[in-house]
């Protein structure tokens, strides 16, 4: 391997870890926001954060999977256990309340209203189709 290729490879390796850590933390923040914002999913962001941390920082990875709130999302997904019924109900209710408010009071363009209602319907169907975690 030539010296320039080694330098380039070394350069990519030196920025890979900090980039993965930054992406991981961004995903954690988006996942936390997703807890309260219905259209922003929590679990996919936390799964992506776990993947980034697993490849970059064992300390952050252990923190995330051991976290009292976030670790449960990741563990339940990995084990195929599903979503608790209470979470499904609250999520779908919040989704329709926020979409309904937007359609009635915020959005004036007809096709945007149709799109929002279509998104809410698809997300509701998706959530309803996920396995339900028995308590």
DSSP 9-76: HHHHHHHHHHHHHHHHHHHHHHHHHHHHSTTS-SHHHHHHHHHHHHHH-HHHHHHHHH-TTHHHHHHH
Residue 20 pLDDT level (bands cut at 50, 70, 90):
very high
Q: pTM for the complete prediction?
A: 0.61
- At residue 78's C-alpha, the angle toward residues 130 and 84, to 5°, is 40
Residue 19 pLDDT level (bands cut at 50, 70, 90):
very high
Domain match, 95 and 75 both:
no
Axis crossing angle, helix 70-78 with helix 43-56, rounded to the nearest 10? 90
Above 80 in pLDDT, residue 113?
A: yes
d(CA 63, CA 61): 5
Residue ranges making up the domain that contains 66 = 1-81
**Residues 6 or more apart in contact with residue 96 via CB below 8 angstroms:** 120, 124
Residue 105 pLDDT level (bands cut at 50, 70, 90):
very high
Domain match, 91 and 114 both:
yes
pLDDT, average across residues 89-93: 83
Token readout for 92 is 């779908």
Read off the pLDDT of residues 29-61 as tens digits, 9 standing for 90 and up.
998 888 877 667 787 788 889 999 999 999 999
As for how many domains the chain has, the answer is 2
Domain match, 118 and 77 both:
no
Domain match, 103 and 77 both:
no
d(CA 84, CA 76): 10
Domain match, 102 and 131 both:
yes
């Amino acid at each position: 391997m030539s010296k320039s290729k080694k330098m380039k490879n070394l350069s990519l390796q030196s920025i890979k870890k900090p980039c993965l850590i930054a992406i991981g933390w961004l995903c954690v923040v988006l996942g936390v926001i997703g807890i309260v914002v219905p259209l922003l999913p929590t679990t996919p962001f936390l799964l992506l954060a776990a993947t980034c941390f697993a490849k970059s920082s064992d300390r952050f990875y252990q923190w995330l999977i051991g976290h009292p709130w976030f670790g449960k999302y990741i563990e339940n997904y990995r084990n195929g256990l599903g979503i608790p019924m209470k979470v499904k109900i609250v999520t779908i209710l919040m989704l329709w309340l926020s979409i309904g408010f937007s359609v009635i009071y915020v959005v004036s363009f007809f096709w945007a209203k149709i799109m929002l209602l279509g998104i809410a319907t698809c997300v509701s169907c998706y959530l309803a189709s996920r396995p339900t975690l028995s308590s």
